[in-house]
C-alpha cells in the first residue's frame, strides 16, 4: 500500500483525481493520502469534499489536507503535482496580453506559455526542494504547465534526480479519441510518437496484432472530422481546437498531430479566431471553477457524495494513477512521457526534453527509439526547442536579451519588434512573480 501527496489540492482537477483513486483502489491501494495547497480557501473546500467522499468510498484510507509543506511530504511514495502559479487571474493575463496585440494567447503556447513558464519555475524548484527534504526517494509525477519549460528547468536544477517524471495527458486524450473513432479499446494501442510537449506527432498506431491503424484513422479524420472522446463534456473552445485536427491532417498528412500544433502551423489564422475579450481562462472561471466548487460545497452540506458529479476529464486523473501503478508494480506498460532525448530522436540534440513513448518500469521510463526524423519536423522542433532553452536561460540568467531571443524565435510571435513589445507588457504584468530582468 502506498502513501501519496497531491500538490495542488485546491485545483478543480483534484476532485476527479480523488474519485479515480476510489475507482482504482483495488489496482493501486493507498494507505495514506495528503493534499497540499498554498491556497487555504480552495484547499478547504476540496479537502472537506474529500473527507466525505473517502468516508463513503475509501474508509480505510488515512486522509488529511494541509497548507504546511513540513507536513505534506513526510514519508510519501508518490507526489502527484499540478500547480498553477499565479492562478487563473494570471492565466487570463497570459492569454489576453498577447491577443491584444494579435498574437496567440494560450496558457502554454507563445508568449502566454513563456510568462507562465517563468512563474512556474520558481514555485516548482521550491516545491521539489521541500519534497526532497522529507522524501528523497518519492516519485514526483508532474503535470505542471507549461510542461516543456518546466521539464527543461528541472533537468538543469536537479540533474541527478531521476525520480522526477514530467507528463501531459494530451497524448492520452488523443489516443482515447482515436479509440472512439476506430471503435478500438485505446489500451490496446501501441503508439509511436515524437516531439516536444504540446508539440508532437503520432507516426504509427499499432494494435496488439501489429497492424498500423494510422492510415485508416487518417482517412476517417479527413472524411468525418475529429472530436474529443468526451465531446459531450467539452466547452466550445475545446471542440474548436479538436476540429482543427482535420485541417492539420489535410495540410501535413504524414503523421497525426498533437492538437496544440495548430497554434504553430497557423499562428495568424488562429489568433484571429480567438476572442481577446473572452479567453479560455474566462470560460474556465465561469464554468469549471464555479461548477466544481459549488458541487463540492453541496456534497459537504448534504454530508454525502452520492449522486454528485465533480469529474470533467477521466483521462487526466486515470493517466497519472496508471503511471504510478506501472512504476509501483514494474508493469512495463507503454505511455507517452517527457524524457531527456539522448539519441531517442537521433538527429536532435541529446539534451532536449522530448515527449515519446516509453516502457514504464520500477526503474522509471525506458524510452523507445524513434530514429531520424524528416526535415520539416526537425526544423519545427529545433526552433521550438531553441525557444524553450532560451526561456529557461532567461530565467536562470535573469537575462532580458535571452527572453527577447526566445520570444523572437517563437513561431506565434515571429518578429523581434512584436517580441519586445509583448515582453515589456509581460514583465509589467508579472512583476510580483518573475525574477527581475
C-alpha cell at position 418: 512584436
Cβ closest to ligand G6P, residue 18 vs residue 284 = 284
Q: Which does 91 bind (CB under 5 to 8 A by kind): ligand G6P, Mn ion, none?
A: none
Q: Which does 391 bind (CB under 5 to 8 A by kind): ligand G6P, Mn ion, none?
A: none
Q: Which does 318 bind (CB under 5 to 8 A by kind): ligand G6P, Mn ion, none?
A: none
Among 340, 16, 89, which Cα is nearest to 196's? 340
**Out of 42, 280, 389, 418, which residue is the one contacting ligand G6P (CB under 6 A)?**
280
**Out of 170, 305, 412, 430, which residue is the one contacting ligand G6P (CB under 6 A)?**
170
Shortest distance, position 13 Cβ to ligand G6P, whole Å: 8
Shortest distance, position 292 Cβ to ligand G6P, whole Å: 11
Stretch that binds ligand G6P, among 109-117, 134-142, 164-172, 247-255 (CB under 6 A): 164-172
Contacts made by residues 304-308, CB under 8 angstroms, sequence distance 24+: 304/52, 304/56, 305/49, 305/52, 305/53, 305/56, 305/57, 306/56
Stretch that binds ligand G6P, among 122-130, 163-171, 302-310, 403-411 (CB under 6 A): 163-171
Shortest distance, position 284 Cβ to ligand G6P, whole Å: 5
Cβ neighbours of residue 306 closer than 8 Å, sequence gap 6 or more: 56
Interface positions, 142-161, toward ligand G6P (CB under 6 A)? 145
Among 353, 336, 437, 338, which Cα is nearest to 156's? 353
Report the alpha-carbon distance of residue 54 to residue 32 in Å, rounded: 11
Shortest distance, position 74 Cβ to ligand G6P, whole Å: 29
Q: Which does 284 bind (CB under 5 to 8 A by kind): ligand G6P, Mn ion, none?
A: ligand G6P
103 three-state secondary structure: coil
Cβ closest to Mn ion, residue 5 vs residue 142 = 142
Secondary structure tally for the chain: helices H, strands E: 17, 12
Contact 198, 108 (CB under 8 A): yes
Stretch that binds ligand G6P, among 162-170, 204-212, 297-305, 360-368 (CB under 6 A): 162-170
- Chain residue at closest Cβ approach to Mn ion: 168
**Out of 4, 99, 150, 168, which residue is the one contacting ligand G6P (CB under 6 A)?**
168
Cβ closest to ligand G6P, residue 281 vs residue 404 = 281
Which residues does the annotation mark as catalytic? Answer: 169, 260
Check residue 104 for interaction with ligand G6P (CB under 6 A). Answer: no
Cβ closest to ligand G6P, residue 25 vs residue 180 = 180
Number of residues in contact with ligand G6P under rule CB under 6 A: 6
Check residue 169 for interaction with ligand G6P (CB under 6 A). Answer: yes
H-helix or E-strand containing 337? strand 333-340
Shortest distance, position 258 Cβ to Mn ion, whole Å: 9
Report the alpha-carbon distance of residue 410 to residue 118 in Å, rounded: 15
Quickly tell me which residue has 497519472 as its cell.
Answer: 320
Shortest distance, position 75 Cβ to ligand G6P, whole Å: 29
Report the alpha-carbon distance of residue 79 to residue 5 in Å, rounded: 5
Q: Give contact residues for Mn ion (rule: CB under 5 A).
A: 168, 170
Shortest distance, position 142 Cβ to ligand G6P, whole Å: 11
Convert 50-100 into a string of H (helix), E (strand) and C (coil).
Answer: HHHHHHHHCCCCEEEEECCHHHHCCCCCEEEECCCCCHHHHHHHHHHHHHC
Shortest distance, position 168 Cβ to ligand G6P, whole Å: 5
Q: What is the dihedral of CA 232, 85, 278, 275, to 10 degrees?
A: -90
Cβ closest to ligand G6P, residue 4 vs residue 168 = 168
- Helix pair 14-23, 290-302: axis angle to 10 deg: 60
- Helix pair 14-23, 314-328: axis angle to 10 deg: 50
Stretch that binds ligand G6P, among 38-46, 48-56, 167-175, 390-398 (CB under 6 A): 167-175
C-alpha cell at position 244: 482543427
367 three-state secondary structure: strand
* 4 bridge partner residues: 33, 78
Interface positions, 191-250, toward ligand G6P (CB under 6 A)? none
Q: Which residues contact ligand G6P (rule: CB under 6 A)?
A: 145, 168-170, 280, 284
Amino acid at each position: 500500500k502506498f502513501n501519496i501527496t497531491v500538490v495542488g489540492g485546491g485545483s478543480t482537477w483534484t476532485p476527479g483525481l480523488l474519485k479515480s483513486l476510489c475507482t482504482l483502489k483495488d489496482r493501486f491501494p493507498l494507505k495514506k493520502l495528503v493534499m497540499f495547497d498554498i491556497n487555504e480557501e480552495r484547499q478547504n473546500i476540496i479537502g472537506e469534499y474529500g473527507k466525505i467522499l473517502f468516508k463513503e468510498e475509501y474508509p480505510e484510507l488515512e486522509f488529511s489536507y494541509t497548507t504546511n509543506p513540513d507536513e505534506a511530504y513526510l514519508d510519501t511514495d508518490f507526489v502527484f503535482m499540478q500547480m498553477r502559479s499565479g492562478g487563473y487571474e494570471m492565466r487570463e493575463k497570459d492569454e489576453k496580453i498577447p491577443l491584444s496585440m494579435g498574437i496567440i494567447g494560450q496558457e502554454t503556447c507563445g508568449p502566454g506559455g513563456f510568462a507562465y513558464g517563468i512563474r512556474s519555475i520558481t514555485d516548482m524548484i521550491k516545491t521539489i526542494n521541500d519534497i526532497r527534504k522529507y522524501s528523497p526517494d518519492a516519485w514526483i509525477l508532474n503535470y505542471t504547465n507549461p510542461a516543456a519549460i518546466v521539464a527543461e528547468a528541472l533537468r538543469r536544477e536537479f540533474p541527478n534526480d531521476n525520480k522526477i517524471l514530467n507528463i501531459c495527458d494530451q497524448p492520452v486524450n488523443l489516443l482515447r479519441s482515436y479509440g472512439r473513432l476506430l471503435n478500438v479499446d485505446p489500451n490496446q494501442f501501441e503508439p509511436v510518437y515524437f516531439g516536444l510537449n504540446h508539440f508532437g506527432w503520432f507516426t504509427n498506431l499499432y494494435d496488439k496484432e501489429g497492424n498500423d491503424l494510422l492510415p485508416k484513422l487518417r482517412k476517417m479524420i479527413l472524411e468525418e472530422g475529429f472530436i474529443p472522446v468526451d465531446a459531450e463534456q467539452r466547452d466550445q473552445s475545446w471542440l474548436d481546437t479538436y476540429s482543427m485536427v482535420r485541417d492539420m491532417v489535410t495540410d501535413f498528412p504524414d503523421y497525426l498531430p498533437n492538437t496544440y500544433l495548430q497554434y504553430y502551423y497557423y499562428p495568424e489564422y488562429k489568433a484571429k479566431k480567438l476572442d481577446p475579450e473572452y479567453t479560455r481562462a474566462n470560460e474556465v472561471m465561469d464554468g469549471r471553477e464555479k461548477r466544481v466548487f459549488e458541487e463540492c460545497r453541496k456534497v459537504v452540506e448534504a454530508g454525502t457524495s452520492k449522486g454528485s458529479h465533480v469529474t470533467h476529464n477521466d483521462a487526466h486523473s486515470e493517466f497519472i494513477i496508471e503511471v504510478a501503478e506501472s512504476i509501483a508494480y514494474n508493469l512495463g506498460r507503454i505511455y507517452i512521457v517527457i524524457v531527456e532525448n539522448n539519441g531517442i530522436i537521433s538527429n536532435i540534440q541529446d539534451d532536449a526534453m522530448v515527449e515519446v513513448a516509453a516502457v514504464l518500469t520500477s526503474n522509471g521510463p525506458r524510452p523507445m527509439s524513434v530514429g531520424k526524423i524528416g526535415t520539416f519536423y526537425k526544423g519545427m522542433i529545433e526552433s521550438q526547442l531553441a525557444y524553450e532553452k532560451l526561456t529557461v536561460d532567461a530565467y536562470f540568467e535573469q537575462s532580458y536579451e535571452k527572453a527577447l531571443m526566445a520570444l523572437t524565435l517563437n513561431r506565434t510571435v515571429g518578429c523581434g519588434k512584436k517580441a519586445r513589445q509583448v515582453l515589456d507588457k509581460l514583465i509589467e504584468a508579472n512583476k510580483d512573480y518573475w525574477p527581475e530582468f
